[in-house]
Amino acid sequence: MRYFTLILLAAALLLGGCGMWDTTAEYTKETWQTTRDFVDPPPVIDTDSYQFSNPNQEKLAKLISPVDGPLTSLIRFVNDTDTLPGIDWLDLLMARFPWVDRVLVTDEEGTIIFMQPDLPVKRINKPLVFEGVWRQVSLLTVVDYSDLGPEMYIGRPYFEDIKFGGLIGVGFDPRSLMRLSPDPQSLIIIHPGHNVWSLGADVDKQAMLAVDWDDILKSNVHGQVQVGNRYYSWLTRYVGEDQYVYATESVDPNAEGSWWPF
């Protein structure tokens, strides 16, 4: 079985585009907003229609629904693309997901042949390595931690007929996505073993990372953990093959009732 490893070197960002696409095309914020609202109106989940028997569950559900919906849509959008994308694909992606910071495409050697925007605010801080089994179509993720904050990349291979052509990568700051929550400061996203993302939540990040998430996630997809003298309700989400954890401080650590009955 053939394996491939592509390394997107930071130095590659200094190279000019190869004319695959007309990178001089203008994408205005107003056009993106209008097109996005028409093509893909923001998903809304009416959590009030469910009878929550656990207040911790209810709080977390309301916090993550406006965040997880767009993330799930982006996952599907990228995962459905297995050929070299064109300008129409880029237009639609930027219209539907305005919180996306960067789109890049590589050749089979890992050299970046297209990137939008040409001069991103954040530069790749370290080599980004995507590994996958030949003809594997599941998404791959990697998070780059720079001085300006985290950048999550969702990537997948594309093919020309049956020949591996390269990688498609879409990058965004997870904190931008978290701002879609009705109360962003109450929401926490944990990247087990790496970092904790928040927009002002009063959380001991080191203590949260010290939780044995690897062991917990082997047999659980939701629950409650104690960190110091506080309790946090959490729910895991797969992005590609990697698990991330949504969490918020529990309303009532002693609350009873089934979790996620729907």
- With b meaning 16 or more CB within 10 Å and e meaning fewer, what string describes 216-230? beeeeeeebbebeee
Q: Can you give the pLDDT at residue 7?
A: 43
Q: Which residue has the higher pLDDT, 29 or 94?
A: 94
Band of the pLDDT at 41, cuts 50, 70, 90? low
Whether residue 12 lies inside any domain: the answer is yes
Q: Can you give the pLDDT at residue 120?
A: 56
Whether residue 111 lies inside any domain: the answer is yes
- Give the HSE-up count for residue 226: Cα atoms under 13 Å, Cβ half-sphere: 5
Q: How many residues does the chain have?
A: 262
Q: Which DSSP helix (H) or strand (E) runs through 58?
A: helix 55-79
Q: Which residue has the higher pLDDT, 9 or 147?
A: 147
Please report, for residues 125, 136, 248, the alpha-carbon distance to residue 4 in angstroms, rounded to integers and kept in the order given: 22, 10, 38
Q: Can you give the pLDDT at residue 96?
A: 95
Kindly tell me the burial class for residue 166, based on how many C-beta atoms sit within 10 Å of its own C-beta (0-12, 13-18, 19 or more): buried
Kindly tell me the burial class for residue 160, based on how many C-beta atoms sit within 10 Å of its own C-beta (0-12, 13-18, 19 or more): exposed
- Give the HSE-up count for residue 70: Cα atoms under 13 Å, Cβ half-sphere: 24
Whether residue 223 lies inside any domain: the answer is no
Domain that holds residue 110: 3-16+28-38+73-175
Average pLDDT over residues 212-233: 95
Q: Rounded to 10 degrees, what is the CA torsion of 233, 51, 46, 48?
A: -100
Residue type, 45: I
Band of the pLDDT at 157, cuts 50, 70, 90? confident
The closest of 201, 198, 196, 199 to 211, measured between CA atoms, is 196
Whether residue 151 lies inside any domain: the answer is yes
Average pLDDT over residues 218-232: 94
Least confident range of 24-28, 86-90, 208-212: 24-28
pTM (whole model) above 0.95: no
Average pLDDT over residues 172-198: 95
CB proximity list for 189: less than 8 A, separation 6 or greater: 174, 178, 196, 197, 198, 244, 245, 246, 247
- pLDDT, tens digit, for every residue of 106-146? 888 878 888 887 655 555 555 555 555 555 566 678 888 88
Whether residue 189 lies inside any domain: the answer is no
Whether residue 126 lies inside any domain: the answer is yes
CATH of the domain at 104: 3.30.450.20
Q: How many domains does the chain have?
A: 1
